[in-house]
Each structure stands twice: as structure tokens, then as C-alpha cells.
Chains A and B, each alone.
Chain A
Amino acid sequence: MAGAYDEKYGVNQVPVPTPAPQQAQPSVAPQAQLGGVAPAMPQTAASQQPQPYGQVPFQPFGQEGGLPAYHVHHSYIWLNTIRAVLAVLFIVMISSFSSVLAVIDEIGYSGIGMVGMILGGSGVLFLVFVGLVVLVHVLAYKRLYFTLGPNEFSLYSGIITKKRVHVPYDRVQSVDARASLIQRVFGVRNVFIDTAGGAANKAVLVPSVTKAQAEWLTAELYARKRQVLAPQPTAASASPQVAGQPIAAAVAPQQPTNVLDYGKQAWDEVGGVFAGAPVQEMVPSFEYGMTNKQLFLAGLSNNTSFVLLVLGFLAAVGQVADFAGALFPQQTDQAGQALDSLFVQAADPLVGMSIAASIVGILVVLAIVWVLSAIGSCISYGGFRARRVGDRVEVERGLLQHTRQSISIQRVQAVVVKQSVIRRLIGYCEVSLDKIDAAASDDAGQQKNSLNATGVVVHPFCKLADVPAILTGLVPEYAGIPQDRTPLAPVALRRGIIRRCLIQGGGFWLAVAVVIIQAIMNALFDPAAATTMREAQENAQLLALTNPICFVLYGIALACFVLELVSAIRWARESGFAVNRQFMKVVNGGLSREERSFPRTKIQYGYARTNPFQRLSKVATLNARTAAGIGGTTVSLWDVSEEDADAWLDWLKPRS
């Protein structure tokens, strides 16, 4: 088994860093760590047992390599069969419906018997197909089993080509359990074991285990991981330290905190057909849910709402433009009589009414879309719970599609506090933990969940002031995050405005594009240059239509420009970074704000980058690269003064 591991990682190679918990838990002095072991001894003793969580909810069917081998749940056969058959049936129905009708139409009712025969024949074919699918799944089921060895978890699969995957316990990065709606009805889950190893980083999928089995497997994998790491003294102290903390800090665990929690509780009570009895777990040292207010505001302020806000704003700009046109038809008259026609139309009360009505219609549609998207995200966050259990963080959510993520604290790459524009206005934020994401799994469809895109969201919507309390409870290892901030160089304001408003400025480039188009239009269709009277009139009418549109676009460009200007100024004022012995914090402000804190030990490498203009202004861009996400994440901060950048590079160097 160790051989397989060595093969995978090569001999010359240094294994994926398993950061000692000492690094992730810097705030605690060594003495305190030693002291913390004593009260938590029962916990440690319990985790030393082979199966700390009572009965194994699996029946071993045989042996593999001297270990009991376990099958997954039998719903693997029939749920997958039903899914495959339904899909095929649906396609066949759709594709053959019209041709069956055509046949009936052609041979008339005398040929009903023939149609019956055809249908019967295809029915038999279909049954044969179903039989084949069942056979394949039964075979796959028979060959699909796993064992829990002394050092690694092994999954065996494959009908013809046999495949075996070994996961050493100390490499387990996160264990997620996901259930689709159908799976949920039957109380089964798919378990994903993520190791975050190598370039082809794939999560190991254990399909169709019951809810109780999934929970047991999660707990068991972590327990065994702790056990494997136990010989190292620092690793052993990690979990008891946390588990030994007073549980008083925890929110009462089973109290529903919002209305959707009742739905979630109902799910839990019914559990699904094969769910099995809930597993007695370690007591979480910290747990919380979401209140009604948080849940609904989270839904209403999701990302869609910003797009809607912008659309609504544009509609309002259009309305104001029309209104202005209606109020002052005389002022806009100077450009000539023909140009005025559109405004005359707008000034007509009937036309004005219809414009207003259409705008109201647009706003109503926007509101409906908004509410729908809000309900959607409320449901996806329904039953949200985050908790700290031993040395892992667990997050559960989803009223219909259920997801339960658990990530080992040593594998957390960064703590991210993110405020989108709207959330910023009301003083709320999203807290998430960065982890190394699996590129794709065997079941890629379920991985492509937008909510998973940014690591593990440990609180989708909380007051900024509540963040320290949440972090202290959930990830006490991150208590030493620096609170101060090294601001950007003073020149960052000028550079930021130029960069955000001109070079990357949507408003500026929109205005430039509109100016060019308008100039071309006016040159091509100049009424004065027209040869005939009729052409001049047509040109004038065309310009009368396009020029007001251009002015509306200028208005939009100006609005964008102002927003970008505000954003740039705020960015220059609020951004910055901070380092102390263990942590680095990078703040990138603006209309939205992102604060990312990570341990120094999680920085894979860092670099300072300068372009010629930055060298003139004596500033540099800091880039810290962590392994979070797929293939790594670069955390950048522009326009830090050269001295600060130098000091930062020195800070990056390993200390002797």
C-alpha cells in the first residue's frame, strides 16, 4: 500500500505539504497546547478506537486483502437503472412520436393491428434494453466495494477493466456528501473524497451510500486520519485543543433558526427510505445556522440582484431622458425641424403613457425575476448549518439538493470575507474558506454547482461585525490574523483612477465608441451634403433618431464613469495588506470589497511585479500564490510602495 503511494508520488518527490497543525494554529503557545491535551483525553481515547462511532452501518460481504470489504447501497442499481431508462424512454418518445402518428395516418385504422405489432416489437426491444442496463448495473455493483485499511481507504470498481483507488488517510483533504432530490427521497448520498493531489486532481466518488453510512464514513475517515497523524505530537494536540474548548460558545444545535430549517428538520425526521438511524457523532464545538432575516436578505442580495439593479437603473435613465424630451421640446429644437420629430412624439401624451407603461412592465418583470432568483438561492441555502467538529469544519445546506461539505482545518488555504456591492451598502458580507478544489470528478454534473465555485461558504450572509465571532468559533487557528493595514502608496489614487476609469473603464470606452460611431454617422448622413431634397430629409430623420440614442448612451457612460471613479477612490483608500509572523492579509476595496487572510505557510511562492509606469512611480504589485482553487490562486495587490514590497519579499523568505 505504501508502495502504491510511493509510485504515485515518485521517489525523488517531496510529498504534498501536510502543514503541521502547529502552523495553522499559531496563536496558541506551546504550553497552552500541552495544557489543552489533558481535559480532552476522553476524546482522543475515543478516536484511537478502530470504530469510534459505534456500529458500522455497513455489512461486510467478503474480504479484500484481509480487510472486510463493503458494498455501497443497492439503490445504486435501481436508481441508476431508472434514471438511464427514463432518459432513453424520453428520447425515444420524443423522436418517434411524430413518425408513429404519420404511420397511423398513412395506413389508416385498418392497420391498427400492425401498429400494435410494431409497438409490441419495440416494447420487447425496450425490455431487452432495460434488462441489459440492469445487468450492467448489477455487475458494476458487484464489483464496486471499498475497504478501510490501516493506512488508506481503497475503492475497487470496474466491470471489465478493474480499477482501484487508494487514498492514504493523511491525504484526505475534504469529504463531501451530496444528494440529488431523488436520492434524498430515498435517503442516499454520493460521497466525494478529495485528496487535492497532483495536477489531475480528482475527487474519489463513492456513489449511493445511505445517509447514516455517509455520515459514518465521513467521521471514520477523519478519525483514522487523526489516528495516522497522531504520532506527531503537534498533530495530536490539534484536535483536542479545539475540542477541549468550552461548548458554551455554541449556538443551541438543534434549534431551527429560520423557517426553512423546519423543512430541513422534516427531511431529517423522514430521512428518506433507506437513510438509517442518525450516527452519534462527536459534539461540535461551535455551530450556527441562519436567521430568517439573514436567509431572505441573502436571497434578495445575491449576484443576480446587482445585474437587475443595473438594468433597472438603465431603464430609469431611459425614462428620465424621455421625460426631459417631453418637457423641453423647444430647447432641443435648434438642430433643425426634422430632428425634433422624435421629441414631438414623446411629448404626445399617448406615446408618453405607452413609454411609461412599457418601463413599468420592464420593472415588474425584473422584480419577478429577482424574487424568483431570491427564492432559488433561499432554497439552495435552506437548512444551512456550519459547525466545527474536532479538527474539521462541516457545512450543510440545500433544501432540495442536499450538500454536506467537510474540510480538514489543515487544508484550509485562506479565509475570505467578501462584500458585493449591494451587501456592502447594507453592511453584510459572505465568509468562505478557500480550499484546493477538485478539477472534476466522475460525476461532473453535480460538481458544477456555482455555489461551490469559491471554496466552502461558511456563512453566506452575516453582519460584518459578526465575522470575528464566527471565525473565532469556527477556525480558532486563524485568531492571529493581523488587524492593522499597510496602506497603498499615495500615488495609488492617481494610478487607480487611470487604471479603473480609463484603461479598464467601461464607461470611458463606451463613450469613445459612441463618439466614433456618432461622428461616422453624422459624416455619412450629413443633410447639408445631400444632393437631393428627399435625401436630405431622410438623412435628417435618421440622425434625429440616432443622435438622441447616442446622448442616452453618453448618459450611461457618464454614470458608469462616476461609479468607476468612486470605486477607484475607495479602492485607493481602503486597500492594503498586513503581515505578521504567521499570517498575511490582503484587502482589495472599491464598490465591492474582498479581504483574504492566509497563513504564511500556505503561500506557495510570491512575487512582486512592476511595469514601466509603476517603476516611474516607485510602486509594485504584490502577488501571493496559494494552492487554493483549481491549479492555484494568485492574490494580487496593486501599487504598494517599493519599500513595502521589498519588506514583503523579505518576509516571504523562510526564517532560519
Chain B
Amino acid sequence: MRELPSEQLDPRIKSVWRINDAIWIILCFLICFIPFAIVGSVEDESWVTVVMAIIGAFFAVLAVVCLVVLPPIRYARWRYQMSEGFLDIARGIFWRKRFVIPFIRVQNTDTRQGPLMRAFGLSSVTVATAAGEHEIPGISTAQAEQLRDHAAELARIAREDV
């Protein structure tokens, strides 16, 4: 296969992913766990304990996979490159995708920042076409602004050419 695009995301995005996933996992865990905990506190039945143990084990595995195993792989697989006329993105762990997004087709570009991203000083850049948009999730805010302007500029120049 062809060589991968050169740019990588900011390494801090791994922490953002981890925190984000941790919040979701804890929420789901509580939703599943609390009803059984209540039942267990009222009635002392052995099957409740077993179910609680299974739920605990399941979420423990999920947490290890999502917080320890996946972020570095995901980070390593996420690459992008902004060439003269197009945006090149390679991502995905099992289902690997390689995108070519010509700037002539880009309708708008913007930067987004959630509270978590802001805490880490990261931003994401979104590039929208008439048939869907693409997000480059974690790069430093200054770099994101630069990237967005660059993308918008390339899109404008490309348009004038066609």
C-alpha cells in the first residue's frame, strides 16, 4: 500500500480520548450497576452478587481496552496531510480508510473546541463538503487556526482555478 500521510495528531489527544471514554464508561457502568446494587442491599441473594461481578468484570475489561490498549493504536493510525490541492487522511484500526478530499469541493472549514479539548489547549478542524464533513480531531489550537485558514485559502484558490 502507499505510504502514510506525514502529519500526526497532537499526542495530548490520547489523554482527551481517555478522559472522554472514561466518563462514558463510568456513566454506563453506574446505569447498569446501581439497580443491582440496590437489589443486593435489600435482598441478600447470591445471583445478584454474580451479576454484579460479571458487570464489574465486563466494564473493567472495557476500561482496559478503551483506556490503555486503543488510544495509542488509534493515535498511531490517525494521520493527515495537507497537500497542494487535497487533504489526505488515513485512519482506522480494523477498517482502515484512506481519504482524498480535494479542496475544490470543500464548502467550509471551521475549528471546534469542547470543554475537555480547551483544557488541553487542543482544537479540531472540520472540513465540510456537499456530501459530508471530516474532522481532524486533536491538534494544538494555534496549529488548528493555521490549518483552517490554510484549508480555506487552498479551497478559495482551487475554486478560482476551475
Q: When A646-B1, A653-B86 are in contact, do A16 and B131 touch as well, CB less than 8 Å?
A: no
Q: When A16-B130, A626-B131, A654-B103 are in contact, do A649 and B85 touch as well, CB less than 8 Å?
A: no
Total number of A-B contacts with CB less than 8 angstroms?
99
Other-chain contact of B96, A14, A601, A609, A656 (Cβ < 8 Å): A609
Q: When A607-B97, A615-B96, A642-B1 are in contact, do A632 and B130 touch as well, CB less than 8 Å?
A: yes
Bound: A20/B162 CA distance, A: 8
Q: Which residue of A lies closest to B85 (CB)?
A: A654
Other-chain contact of B131, A631, A649, A654 (Cβ < 8 Å): A631
Q: Which residue of A lies closest to B158 (CB)?
A: A654
Interface of B is mostly: mixed
The proximity string for B residues 122-162 relative to A, scoring 1 for CB distances below 8 Å and 0 otherwise, is 00000001111010000000000000000010011011001
Contacts of B4 in A (CB 8 A): none
The proximity string for B residues 39-56 relative to A, scoring 1 for CB distances below 8 Å and 0 otherwise, is 000000000000000000
Q: Are A14 and B84 in contact (CB under 8 A)?
A: no
Other-chain contact of A604, B1, B92, B130, B152 (Cβ < 8 Å): B130
Q: Which of A625-652 contact B (CB under 8 A)?
A: 625-627, 631-633, 642, 646, 649, 652
Contacts of A20 in B (CB 8 A): 162
Q: Are B130 and A611 in contact (CB under 8 A)?
A: no
Contacts of B107 in A (CB 8 A): 13-17
Q: Are A649 and B132 in contact (CB under 8 A)?
A: no
Q: Which of A1-58 contact B (CB under 8 A)?
A: 10, 12-17, 20, 23
Bound: A652/B103 CA distance, A: 11
Shortest distance in angstroms between A177's beta carbon and chain B's nearest beta carbon? 26
Contacts of B109 in A (CB 8 A): 12
Bound: A78/B2 CA distance, A: 67
Shortest distance in angstroms between B10's beta carbon and chain A's nearest beta carbon? 23
Bound: A135/B96 CA distance, A: 62
Pairs A–B under 8 Å by Cβ, sample size 25? A12-B152, A13-B108, A16-B107, A16-B130, A17-B105, A17-B130, A17-B159, A436-B130, A604-B130, A604-B131, A604-B132, A605-B100, A605-B131, A607-B97, A607-B100, A612-B94, A631-B132, A632-B131, A646-B1, A649-B98, A653-B86, A653-B102, A654-B102, A654-B103, A654-B104
Shortest distance in angstroms between B48's beta carbon and chain A's nearest beta carbon? 29
Q: When A631-B132, A632-B132 are in contact, do A605 and B101 touch as well, CB less than 8 Å?
A: yes
Other-chain contact of A605, B95, B105, B155 (Cβ < 8 Å): B105
Contacts of A601 in B (CB 8 A): 104, 162
Contacts of B117 in A (CB 8 A): none
Bound: A480/B8 CA distance, A: 40
Shortest distance in angstroms between B52's beta carbon and chain A's nearest beta carbon? 31
Contacts of B99 in A (CB 8 A): 605-607
Q: Are A606 and B95 in contact (CB under 8 A)?
A: no
Bound: A20/B86 CA distance, A: 20
Q: Are A604 and B105 in contact (CB under 8 A)?
A: yes
Bound: A17/B128 CA distance, A: 12
Q: When A646-B2, A649-B2, A649-B100 are in contact, do A14 and B106 touch as well, CB less than 8 Å?
A: yes
Contacts of B158 in A (CB 8 A): 654
Bound: A607/B162 CA distance, A: 22
Other-chain contact of A654, B86, B108, B152 (Cβ < 8 Å): B86
Q: Which residue of A lies closest to B89 (CB)?
A: A607
Q: Which B residues contact A (CB, under 8 angstroms)? A: 1-2, 83-86, 92, 94-109, 129-132, 134, 152, 155-156, 158-159, 162
A610 at the interface (CB under 8 A from B): yes
Bound: A319/B99 CA distance, A: 53
Bound: A603/B131 CA distance, A: 9
Bound: A607/B95 CA distance, A: 12
Q: Which residue of A lies closest to B96 (CB)?
A: A610
Q: When A20-B162, A609-B96 are in contact, do A627 and B131 touch as well, CB less than 8 Å?
A: yes
Bound: A403/B47 CA distance, A: 65
Contacts of A185 in B (CB 8 A): none
Shortest distance in angstroms between B45's beta carbon and chain A's nearest beta carbon? 29
A608 at the interface (CB under 8 A from B): yes
Interface size class of A (residues with CB under 8 A): 35 or more
Extra inter-chain contacts (10) besides given A13-B107, A13-B108, CB under 8 Å: A15-B107, A16-B107, A17-B105, A601-B104, A604-B105, A610-B95, A626-B131, A649-B100, A652-B102, A655-B85
Contacts of B94 in A (CB 8 A): 611-612
Bound: A631/B131 CA distance, A: 6
Bound: A605/B106 CA distance, A: 9
Q: Are B106 and A653 in contact (CB under 8 A)?
A: no
Shortest distance in angstroms between A350's beta carbon and chain B's nearest beta carbon? 57
Q: Are A12 and B132 in contact (CB under 8 A)?
A: no
Q: When A14-B155, A646-B1 are in contact, do A608 and B98 touch as well, CB less than 8 Å?
A: yes
Bound: A15/B101 CA distance, A: 17
Shortest distance in angstroms between A500's beta carbon and chain B's nearest beta carbon? 19
Bound: A20/B159 CA distance, A: 11
Q: Are A656 and B84 in contact (CB under 8 A)?
A: yes
Contacts of B130 in A (CB 8 A): 16-17, 436, 604, 627, 632
Q: Which residue of A lies closest to B127 (CB)?
A: A605
Bound: A606/B86 CA distance, A: 11
Contacts of A610 in B (CB 8 A): 95-97
Shortest distance in angstroms between A629's beta carbon and chain B's nearest beta carbon? 9
Q: Which residue of A lies closest to B105 (CB)?
A: A604
Shortest distance in angstroms between A408's beta carbon and chain B's nearest beta carbon? 16
Bound: A601/B104 CA distance, A: 9
Bound: A607/B103 CA distance, A: 15
Contacts of A13 in B (CB 8 A): 107-108
Q: Are B131 and A656 in contact (CB under 8 A)?
A: no
Q: Which residue of B lies closest to A608 (CB)?
A: B98
